[in-house]
């Protein structure tokens, strides 16, 4: 099936530890995004990438890092510098054709908690 796969579904981080969230898509989309959602809140953009080997900071990039070495993959690392990482993390992708660039397809999310 075509879609976006996020793993793991649940993740626990120890103090001072870096953790990496996986996001893979087989939709052949050029653009990919990472969002964070806190309880009862909307989504906030962490990073986005419009093409392989290029990415831009979103609104809340501090304490996070990403890479885009392959079109299908856009992993997010939550570093120890992110002091409040507990949240629901969502990955999305969108096509690059006119009229559809803002139609984003989302994964099922990863819930990150701090031990």
Partner 1 sequence: DAKTTQPTSMDCAEGRAANLPCNHSTISGNEYVYWYRQIHSQGPQYIIHGLKNNETNEMASLIITEDRKSSTLILPHATLRDTAVYYCIALRGGANSKLTFGKGITLSVRP
Residues of this chain that interact with partner 1 (CB under 8 A) are 4, 31, 33, 35, 40-43, 45, 48, 50, 58-59, 88, 90, 92, 94, 96, 98-99, 101-109
Residues paired with 114 in a beta bridge: 13
Q: How far is the CB of 102 from partner 1 (least distance, A)?
A: 5
Q: How far is the CB of 11 from partner 1 (least distance, A)?
A: 15
Residues paired with 51 in a beta bridge: 54
What CA–CA distance (Å, rounded) separates 3 from 25? 6
What CA–CA distance (Å, rounded) separates 92 from 30? 11
Q: How far is the CB of 16 from partner 1 (least distance, A)?
A: 28
């Amino acid at each position: 099936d075509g879609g976006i796969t996020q793993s793991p579904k649940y993740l626990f981080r120890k103090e001072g530890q870096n953790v990496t969230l996986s996001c893979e898509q087989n939709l052949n989309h050029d653009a990919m995004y990472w969002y964070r959602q806190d309880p009862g809140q909307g989504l906030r953009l962490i990073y986005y990438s419009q093409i392989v080997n290029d990415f831009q900071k979103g609104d809340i990039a501090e304490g996070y890092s990403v890479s885009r070495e392959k079109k299908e993959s856009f992993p997010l690392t939550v570093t120890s510098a992110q002091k409040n990482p507990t949240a629901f993390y969502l990955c999305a992708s969108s096509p690059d054709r006119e009229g559809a660039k803002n139609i984003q397809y989302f994964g099922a999310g990863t819930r990150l908690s701090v031990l």
